[in-house]
Every structure is written in C-alpha cells, then in structure tokens.
Amino acid sequence: MSGSREVCAGVHWVGAKHPELKVFDELFPTRHGTTYNAFLVRGRQKVALIDTVKAPFADRYLETVRSLVPLEMIDLVVVNHTEPDHSGALEKLLLHNPEIEVYCTRPGENFLKQLIEAPMRTHVVADGEEIDLGGRTLRFVLAPYLHWPDTMFTHLPEEKVLFPCDAFGAHYCADGLFDDEVPDFSSEFAHYFYTIMRPFKDKIREAVAKVEGLDLSLVCPSHGPLLRRDPMDAVRAYRRMAAAPPSTGAKRALLLTLSPHGNTRTMAKAVRAGLEARGVEVLERAIIDMKDEELRDEIERADALLVGTPTINRDAPPPVWKALSLLSSVTPKGRVGAVFGSFGWSGEAIKIVEERLLGLKYTLAAPGLSFRFRPTEEDLQACRQLGEAVGQALSDEV
C-alpha cells in the first residue's frame, strides 16, 4: 500500500504501509502492522525529503516521490535517524540523483557511511540549525538516543509541523493516515514507548524540553498515525512516562526471588534482615508475581538489586532470565548487585547470574552465596552478612 497524500500545505506523505507485519525487526510483536512514514516538503526554491522507507519498499517509495516531482529536482533528504527502516531507500535514491545533499547528525553521518555504498554528499547539522527552502524552513533539533545516538527532529515552523522520527510513534497501520481517522491505538502507543524508548528516559526528558514549548498543529512520527487531534498530547504523554522515579530519600533494595521449594526464599529473609540492619528499605518480591511493567518500575527505583535463584539443569530457570532481560530496557537508579540461592544437584546459576549483572555494569557488593538444599543456621548467618555487605556498599556511595 502506498501513494502520496497531502498532509498540510506543501507537505506530502510519501511513505509505505505494512499491514501484514507480525513482528517488527523480529523483536517486537505488531498486532496491527506498521507504517514507514516519509514526507516531501516543497519550498519555492528547494524540495526536501524527510526520511525514506525500508528497503523492500524502496521502488514503491521512489515511484510515489516521482508522482509529485522528478527525482532530479530533489535538493536534499533529511535523515532524522539512520536505522534501516528509515534509510533503506536512500541508496537507490542517491543512485538516481547523486547530487542530493543528505542532512543528518554527526553520528548519523558515521552510520550512513557504513550503511550506504553509493557516493553521498552529507551535511552535518547543528542543534537549532535551519535551512530555507523558500517560504518554508526546516529547523533541526538534536535528540540523541531517541532511540539511537544519531536521532534528531525536524521542525517546519511555518506549518507548525514536527517530524520526530521514532519518537511519539506507534506500530499501527490502518486505512486512515491521521489519528482522527483511525480507531483508538493508545495501547500500541504505550507499548511502543515501553519496548523501544523507555531505556532512554533521561534523554527523552531532554528532548521533550526542546519541543514542548513549540506551537504544533501536526506531529508526524515515522511509524503509525500522524497526530493532529491534539499533537501536544503525545509530547505530554512522553513527559509523563519518562518522569524520573520518585525518591524517598532512603536507600532502596529490590530483592527478587524464585524459590520452588522455599529454600532460596528462606535465604532471602536473612539477606533482608542484613539489609534492614544497615538502614536499607527493602522491597522483596517473588519474580513470578511481578508483571513486566511493575518490575521495570521497581528496577528504576532501586539503588541495589539482589537476585535469589535456584539452579535447574545447570542454569538459572526461565523466569529468572525473563526478569533479567528487562534490565536492558530501563535505566536503573543504582547498579549495586548481589546473587544467592539454594540448589540440589549443582549450583551454577549463581555465577551465571553474576556474570549477567557484571555485563550490565553492576558492581557486586560481595561474592554470591550458594547452599545445597535447606540452609543451615550458619548458612543463614552468611546470608545476613551478604545483606549487610550490600547495605555497606550503598553507604559507601553516599
């Protein structure tokens, strides 16, 4: 599905729709497919393209652009973000018109040189830089890590339009192009934020601060419906969802356990006693009782993460790995960690989980503890000392 559509004066949508997509990038389920939004902006002197589309849709994209203007008349293409679902048609475009100037950030230039084999003229933009197309201005707003280092937004002030690439988007493909032409997609909007944008909350807050004062009538993300019903609602939603976790002032530890026979949880009680003896506020939860969003929230609030895991088949069980997989989707408040657990046949899980935490830049406050079957009183005393060691490590950070 393709074809141009005017979205406001001098601006046409020239993207592609992908309604049959089931899993985006083989990572994220898409219940309603997705779109690859791209735009043509025409001024009196210059014609600009804002982003391209994924490579399989390149021929369709070029055909759509040609229906509006010969490719030889394109002066520049803005690459807000170089990920292949946005830059996939750039190489074919440059083969047709090698004189096109590519506007991008410094990291974007670096990435494009590794992605594109065709000769390419690049222009690295500065934050706030503008280019006059003749009656229409493109103003560039650097927004790194939304969600790659290269990301920027493009603002068209005369028409009150913002092109923010992946920010404020959703994997949602419908017959309509605008948010007031399609069914409610708020769940997909939130899912997109939490799976893709959430790890970069601090960067989101910085980017939102740059655009929340703009007078906008239309926000054109690179995926999903274009936002014209209340375009600033998406900006406010990002501000709300990216808010820093509240602080109680006390050091806080998240104590996660998986304990099929209760022995690891017995150890956790002693670990908790050691933490609390050091004045640490402890949230102790069974991994299987926590939903992903709750777990992400608590990881963000915690100054320390302690994992109690058994060993099953010489590894940590799947629920433990699922919980650990969420660590890379948030920005933890603190990175002090510790691991402990009971085992029956062998105890490899402790070292394996420690390696995972170390790989995520956690500092281990003390060597992990691993005891066979039911812990003895001596074992529980060691668990208490483990908790105290974590508490001491948090005190040393102050």
**CATH number among 3.40.50.300, 1.20.58.2030, 3.40.50.360, 3.40.50.970, domain 252-393:** 3.40.50.360
- Residue 1: the pLDDT is 47
pLDDT digit string, tens, across residues 266-289: 999 999 999 999 999 999 999 999
Residue 106 pLDDT > 70, yes or no? yes
Region 135-140: what's the mean pLDDT?
Answer: 97
Cis peptide upstream of residue 147 (ω within 30 degrees of 0): yes
Please provide residue 280's backbone torsions phi and psi, each rounded to the nearest 5 degrees: -90, 135
For residues 325 and 199, the answer to whether their CB atoms sit within 8 Å is no
Determine the Cα–Cα distance for residues 393 and 52; give it in Å rounded to an integer: 49
Domain 5-241 and domain 252-393 have a common topology: no
pLDDT digit string, tens, across residues 44-88: 999 999 999 999 999 999 999 999 999 999 999 999 999 999 999
β-bridge partners, 20? none
pLDDT digit string, tens, across residues 312-334: 999 999 999 999 999 988 888 88
Region 344-356: what's the mean pLDDT?
Answer: 92
For residues 16 and 61, the answer to whether their CB atoms sit within 8 Å is yes
Residue 232 pLDDT > 70, yes or no? yes
Cβ-based neighbours of 295, under 8 Å, separated by 6 or more: 256, 287, 323, 326
Query: To the nearest whole number, what is the mean pLDDT of the chain?
Result: 94
Determine the Cα–Cα distance for residues 247 and 262; give it in Å rounded to an integer: 32
Domain boundaries, the chain: 5-241, 252-393
**CATH number among 3.60.15.10, 1.10.10.10, 3.90.550.10, 3.30.1360.120, domain 5-241:** 3.60.15.10
- Residue 347: the pLDDT is 85
- Residue 99: the pLDDT is 96
Q: Which of 139, 179, 129 is nearest to 159 (CA)?
A: 139
Region 97-124: what's the mean pLDDT?
Answer: 95
Read off the pTM. 0.86
Residue 2 pLDDT > 70, yes or no? no
Region 116-139: what's the mean pLDDT?
Answer: 95
Determine the Cα–Cα distance for residues 159 and 137; give it in Å rounded to an integer: 9
Residue 398 pLDDT > 70, yes or no? no
196 or 247, which is more confident = 196
pLDDT digit string, tens, across residues 142-176: 999 988 999 999 999 999 999 999 999 999 999 99
- Residue 246: the pLDDT is 76
